[in-house]
Chain A
Amino acid sequence: MPLSSADFSAIWLTIKLASLTTVILLVIGTPIALWLSRTRSWWRGPIGAVVALPLVLPPTVIGFYLLLTMGPHGYFGQFTQWLGLGTLTFSFAGLVIGSVIYSMPFVVQPLQNAFSAIGTRPLEVAATLRANPWDTFFSVILPLARPGFITASILGFAHTVGEFGVVLMIGGNIPDKTRVVSVQIYDHVEAMEYAQAHWLAGAMVVFAFLVLLALYSSRKTKMGWS
């Protein structure tokens, strides 16, 4: 068996982290994307820029600030301590928060594009057919934006799987709690276990390729608005 139980544990943790992050991002990313695609407010620019920050910032920068805010002296850390939860640094929950921020643009942007492509007309049509805004969201926006949701989920999941810098900064390297695949590979290489590193790294390459293959193949079929 080329993979050790520690490797499997890292894989399982990665899948758990990426799945949870994706679900959370779909829930909070949808209203943000909806707002960004509809608003004419002055805030559209600044908020859009903040959401996109992780695209350009080094993960260490994000990790550094998260470490500070979630640490015992940070605002968020003091809040979680007040709630009796302790600090979230070096915990799985902390990783989830970090991943949500780090992968945010990969979910929000495809959703925003999908919502913009729908335009306002279908929503107006739905309103004149007596659908209230919630009804319209579930019966018109959701089905029409389905390709956008698929893209957003795939990208959000895959990008979280590929995360390294943020994890190292705020989660460290705790087996079963914060040691994800990318960190495990780093450990193998540090310990000169190149064969082990190869298996995991190779699996990541195959995974990433399959994900992108699925993504680019599915883009051929687009539904038009008539």
Chain B
Amino acid sequence: MIDVRLHLTYSAFALKVDLQLPGRGVTALYGHSGSGKTTCLRCIAGLERAKDGFVQVNDEVWQDSRNGLFVPPHKRALGYVFQEASLFPHLSVRANLEFGLKRIPRAQRRVDMAQATELLGIGHLLERHPQHLSGGERQRIGIARALLTSPRLLLMDEPLAALDSQRKGEILPYLERLHDELDIPVLYVSHAQDEVARLADHIVLLRDGQALASGPIGETLARLDLPLALGDDAGVVINGTVSAYDAHYQLLTLQLPGSALQMRVAHTPLALGKALRVKVQARDVSLNLQAEAHSSILNRLPVTVTQEIAADNSAHVLVRLDAGGTPLLARITRFSRDQLQLHPGQTLWAQIKAVAVLA
């Protein structure tokens, strides 16, 4: 459990959050620039000091201003990945990696050099100098360097924001491996919804220094009362389980969590039982009163209408649906809504035009 209570005011900005976050998995601090997400992260690291603050990570208290406790950053068992890799230019890659490692007592080391270099694919870069690396390589080394301090909490401040989309794509798989293979809780600051959808288990939505919402990613992205639902790429993230594979058509069948409902998606074979994360965009979901079997659309799910709001333009509405416990969003025209006479509690069929596999 990560307990964060921060209250700090600058001349034109106030941060006031009180968050209880899961002690494992990836938690995204999501919001626009100026929403306070980086400040929040820096306060947790102790790089900035909130006048009124309480920070507890699992069983360690790092700040408790009411009792005058403030552990300086170098005594906090955390790893920090900055937006720019910030490698030390006077040290080789190996010396950069060892910088934190050799300052950790041997008994506390849980990530070793071989593991970190293998995990981030940087074994061949060790003898190089930071000046001779690409942006993506530098950032992978920055991540490995942070991991080598065997942190109890990994803080990542928009680690991909300074990279172009190709380099981003190069790093994301490594971040997913981190998520899957290391049991280190991660706080991940980002303003990119695609990264959050891919990596996060839990999301905190920040705006103007306040937390608008904090919850599991699947539920939170589907909430209609948050500005998230209004964006063009609004949609839900579903953590499915691979239940079958059709080798002839090369289609993977995914079981939705907690229900018998299934979706199929074009994919290379995966082991049965493996978790797979997919995103379904609100604009790719259409509604039908009947089970329309004569269609090229692969996925049709029986759903119940739970809620409906106006979208960001007057031609559309957003509908929240329940598919056997899994929330879905559909963005349809107001005209269609009236044609279908949509109302909460109504059962109908959702046709899903596209399912994007995230991880």
Interface residues of A (CB under 8 A from B): 121-122, 124-133, 135, 139-140, 143-144, 223-226
Residue in chain B with minimal CB distance to A128? B80
Name B120-174 residues within 8 Å CB distance of A: 130-131, 138, 145-146, 149
Quote the shortest CB–CB distance from B99 to chain A (angstroms): 5
A-chain residues with CB within 8 Å of residue B74 when the two chains form the complex: 126-133
A-chain residues with CB within 8 Å of residue B86 when the two chains form the complex: 121-122, 125
A223 B90 Cβ-Cβ under 8 A: yes
A-chain residues with CB within 8 Å of residue B90 when the two chains form the complex: 143-144, 223
B-chain residues with CB within 8 Å of residue A126 when the two chains form the complex: 74, 99
Which listed residue (A121, A124, A128, A224) contacts B146, Cβ 8 A? A128
Quote the shortest CB–CB distance from A120 to chain B (angstroms): 9
Interface residues of B (CB under 8 A from A): 45-47, 72-75, 78-80, 82, 84-90, 99-100, 103-104, 130-131, 138, 145-146, 149
29 pairs, CB–CB < 8 Å, chain A vs chain B: A121-B82, A121-B84, A122-B86, A122-B88, A124-B47, A124-B80, A125-B82, A125-B86, A126-B74, A127-B46, A127-B47, A128-B73, A128-B78, A128-B79, A128-B80, A128-B149, A129-B99, A130-B74, A130-B75, A130-B103, A130-B104, A130-B149, A131-B103, A132-B74, A144-B89, A224-B89, A224-B131, A226-B87, A226-B131
A124 B73 Cβ-Cβ under 8 A: yes
- With A124-B73, A226-B131 as known contacts, state yes or no: A130 contacts B87, CB within 8 Å: no
A167→B149 CA distance, assembly (Å)? 55
A-chain residues with CB within 8 Å of residue B80 when the two chains form the complex: 124-125, 128
A73→B90 CA distance, assembly (Å)? 52
A127 B73 Cβ-Cβ under 8 A: yes
Residue in chain A with minimal CB distance to B48? A124
- With A121-B82, A122-B88, A226-B138 as known contacts, state yes or no: A127 contacts B99, CB within 8 Å: no
A122→B82 CA distance, assembly (Å)? 11
B-chain residues with CB within 8 Å of residue A225 when the two chains form the complex: 89
Residue in chain A with minimal CB distance to B42? A124
B-chain residues with CB within 8 Å of residue A135 when the two chains form the complex: 103
A25→B149 CA distance, assembly (Å)? 37
Residue in chain A with minimal CB distance to B146? A128
B-chain residues with CB within 8 Å of residue A139 when the two chains form the complex: 99
Which listed residue (B45, B130, B146, B149) contacts A226, Cβ 8 A? B130
A124→B78 CA distance, assembly (Å)? 12
Tell which of A130, A132, A140, A224 has the most Cβ of chain B within 10 Å. Answer: A130
A33→B138 CA distance, assembly (Å)? 31
Quote the shortest CB–CB distance from B96 to chain A (angstroms): 9
Residue in chain B with minimal CB distance to A223? B89
B85 A226 Cβ-Cβ under 8 A: yes
- With A223-B90, A225-B89 as known contacts, state yes or no: A129 contacts B100, CB within 8 Å: yes
A126→B145 CA distance, assembly (Å)? 11
A144→B90 CA distance, assembly (Å)? 7
A206→B32 CA distance, assembly (Å)? 61
A128 B45 Cβ-Cβ under 8 A: yes
B100 A226 Cβ-Cβ under 8 A: no
- With A124-B73, A223-B90, A226-B87 as known contacts, state yes or no: A129 contacts B103, CB within 8 Å: yes
Quote the shortest CB–CB distance from A221 to chain B (angstroms): 12
Residue in chain A with minimal CB distance to B47? A124
B88 A140 Cβ-Cβ under 8 A: yes
B47 A129 Cβ-Cβ under 8 A: no
Quote the shortest CB–CB distance from A164 to chain B (angstroms): 39
Quote the shortest CB–CB distance from B188 to chain A (angstroms): 16
- With A131-B99, A131-B103, A226-B130 as known contacts, state yes or no: A125 contacts B88, CB within 8 Å: yes
A144→B78 CA distance, assembly (Å)? 25
- With A224-B131, A226-B131 as known contacts, state yes or no: A130 contacts B89, CB within 8 Å: no
Quote the shortest CB–CB distance from B57 to chain A (angstroms): 14
A127→B47 CA distance, assembly (Å)? 9
Residue in chain A with minimal CB distance to B101? A129
B-chain residues with CB within 8 Å of residue A121 when the two chains form the complex: 82, 84, 86
